[in-house]
Chain A
Amino acid sequence: AQSVTQLDSQVPVFEEAPVELRCNYSSSVSVYLFWYVQYPNQGLQLLLKYLSGSTLVKGINGFEAEFNKSQTSFHLRKPSVHISDTAEYFCAVSEAAGNKLTFGGGTRVLVKP
């Protein structure tokens, strides 16, 4: 069985400051990793995904994430946040691309001016 832990339920951050959202997973098989963003009262949008290859993955809106197999982590980073980045961020894993997803508990990012 797979599980995903997002260590921070809320992350307040000032505008133009960097942010890191932590995600750790457990699985008995190789996994595919995803970060989704949910803006208030909206559906989920994919930020980035790791399927294979380079462990540093770049996504939309200036986000990037690094896959670390030895630490079973997939932390999300952005060097400079904007007010518009205020949202809920979900880390998710699946055993195969296109297969069902297991989500972490989510991290609520609040960007302050």
Chain B
Amino acid sequence: SAVISQKPSRDICQRGTSLTIQCQVDSQVTMMFWYRQQPGQSLTLIATANQGSEATYESGFVIDKFPISRPNLTFSTLTVSNMSPEDSSIYLCSVAATLYNEQFFGPGTRLTVL
């Protein structure tokens, strides 16, 4: 299985600021994804992080609000820009391991925006 770490594990931020979340995997993976889990809700895919090209965003999510970088096959960042209280959520990174035909999830970053 893939071991995934995320930094920070949690943060409390002021509205109008930005936060960058890091996702590190212990092995090279092809597919990396970023999900959002709003309080008491299910997971919603924000985007697929593509290595060497722009991320692919789902409907309702835009690059200006959630810029994503993926400089190599083991690392990605998600920035939540110009935050508002509605951005308070858990943000999860996941990776797809073709060998295992499944996705592995990081522990998540719990963000609170005041």
Q: Is the CB of B97 within 8 A of A105?
A: no
Interface string of B39-60 (1 = CB under 8 A from A): 0011111001000000000000
Q: Is the CB of B92 within 8 A of A44?
A: yes
Given A49-B102, A98-B31, A100-B33, residue A106 in contact with residue B42 (CB < 8 A): yes
B43 contacts across to A, CB distance below 8 A: 44, 90, 101, 103
What number of A residues sit within 8 Å (CB to CB) of B?
21
CA distance A101 to B104 in the complex (A): 11
* Candidates B31, B42, B45, B102; contact of A34 at CB < 8 Å: B102
Q: Is the CB of A49 within 8 A of B107?
A: no
8 A Cβ contacts from A69-113 to B: 90, 97-106
* Candidates A98, A101, A103, A105; contact of B101 at CB < 8 Å: A98
**Interface residue range, chain B:** 20 to 34
Q: Is the CB of B103 within 8 A of A98?
A: yes
Q: Is the CB of A100 within 8 A of B45?
A: yes
A34 contacts across to B, CB distance below 8 A: 102-103
Q: How far is the CB of B58 from chain A (nearest CB, A)?
A: 8
Q: How far is the CB of A65 from chain B (nearest CB, A)?
A: 14
Measured CB to CB, the nearest residue on chain A to B58 is: A100
Interface string of B13-34 (1 = CB under 8 A from A): 0000000000000000011010
